[in-house]
């Protein structure tokens, strides 16, 4: 392995502009000296997240001077081909439903495998050793590409295939949504919680809508329901 080619103090964060990836960004900014971000346009129907993520980056720079200097380049990858080949409720105008195989129809096959593989290609060019993603085994969806074993296997495959020693970090893997809010508070205090509430986008329906206690969104889709429930659980444990 060409360890010398990877800067171990650097990280590339899969940053979609949602609650989870914003918490991951803060986690990386606390740990590493140089942090870059990457996003993917796969023609997701909630493409509004791609606008919101730029606002979140701006807010992070504005509100956290200790992180501002570490936060480097943002990479944007056009992955429209994934939208073309995926028949899912995230990439087509169809209602959310559970499928016979027990997976929600919002599952985009191969999505996180491709994201990390493309991120690794960018990290390879940028000499970045660490990659950070918000995958989580404990949320409702049961996406197989969010599982710990999948990510561990992918790390091995990427290191063999690119002859580097990348480390894939998934700090939210074993946290529920209430614990993710608690982690955000721990990392960036009220300022980070406020930034996440106000500016991150979670809703599958692209609704921004009026501000709720848990943020903006339709309040009904599976992503909003999860975010709302997690926030309520977190505030209940704080009380």
Return the number of the residue (6 or 21) whose C-beta is nearest Zn ion: 21
Return the number of the residue (122 or 218) whose C-beta is nearest Zn ion: 218
Q: How far is CA 71 from CA 10, 53, 141, 146, in A?
A: 10, 14, 31, 26
Return the number of the residue (26 or 203) whose C-beta is nearest Zn ion: 203
Q: How far is CA 32 from CA 8, 10, 148, 158, 216, in A?
A: 8, 6, 22, 21, 30
Tokens for 237, please give them.
């444990």
Q: Closest approach of Cβ 218 to Zn ion, in Å?
A: 3
Q: Closest approach of Cβ 235 to Zn ion, in Å?
A: 19
Beta strands in the chain, from DSSP E residues, in sequence order: 7-14, 34-41, 71-78, 128-132, 167-169
Return the number of the residue (79 or 226) whose C-beta is nearest Zn ion: 226
> Would you call 94 helix, strand, or coil by DSSP?
coil
**Which residue shows structure tokens 């921004």?**
208
Return the number of the residue (169 or 227) whose C-beta is nearest Zn ion: 227
Q: Closest approach of Cβ 207 to Zn ion, in Å?
A: 6
Who contacts 176 (Cβ-Cβ below 8 Å, separation ≥6)?
Answer: 138, 139, 230, 233
Q: Closest approach of Cβ 227 to Zn ion, in Å?
A: 8
Return the number of the residue (168 or 224) whose C-beta is nearest Zn ion: 224
Query: Quick check: 135 and 21 in contact, CB under 8 A?
Result: no
Who contacts 48 (Cβ-Cβ below 8 Å, separation ≥6)?
Answer: 201, 206, 208
Q: Closest approach of Cβ 223 to Zn ion, in Å?
A: 6
Query: Quick check: 59 and 195 in contact, CB under 8 A?
Result: yes
Binding residues for Zn ion, rule: CB under 5 A, are 203, 205, 217-218, 221, 224
Q: Closest approach of Cβ 112 to Zn ion, in Å?
A: 21
């Amino acid at each position: 392995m060409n360890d010398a080619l990877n800067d171990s103090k650097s990280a590339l964060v899969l940053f979609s502009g949602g609650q989870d990836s914003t918490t991951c960004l803060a986690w990386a900014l606390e740990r590493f000296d140089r942090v870059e971000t990457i996003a993917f346009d796969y023609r997701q129907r909630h493409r509004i997240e791609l606008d919101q993520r730029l606002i979140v980056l701006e807010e992070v720079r504005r509100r956290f001077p200790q992180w501002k200097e570490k936060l480097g380049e943002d990479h944007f990858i056009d992955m429209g081909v994934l939208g073309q080949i995926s028949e899912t409720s995230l990439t087509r105008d169809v209602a959310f439903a559970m499928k016979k195989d027990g997976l929600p129809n919002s599952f985009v096959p191969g999505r996180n495998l491709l994201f990390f593989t493309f991120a690794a290609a960018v990290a390879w060019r940028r000499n970045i050793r660490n990659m950070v993603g918000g995958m989580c085994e404990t949320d409702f969806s049961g996406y197989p590409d969010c599982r710990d074993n999948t990510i561990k296997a992918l790390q091995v495959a990427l290191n063999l295939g690119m002859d580097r020693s990348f480390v894939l970090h998934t700090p939210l893997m074993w946290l529920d949504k209430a614990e993710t809010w608690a982690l955000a508070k721990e990392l960036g205090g009220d300022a980070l919680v406020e930034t996440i509430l106000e500016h991150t986008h979670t809703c599958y329906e692209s609704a921004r809508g009026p501000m709720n206690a848990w943020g903006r969104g339709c309040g009904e889709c599976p992503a909003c329901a999860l975010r709302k429930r997690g926030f309520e659980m977190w505030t209940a444990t704080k009380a």
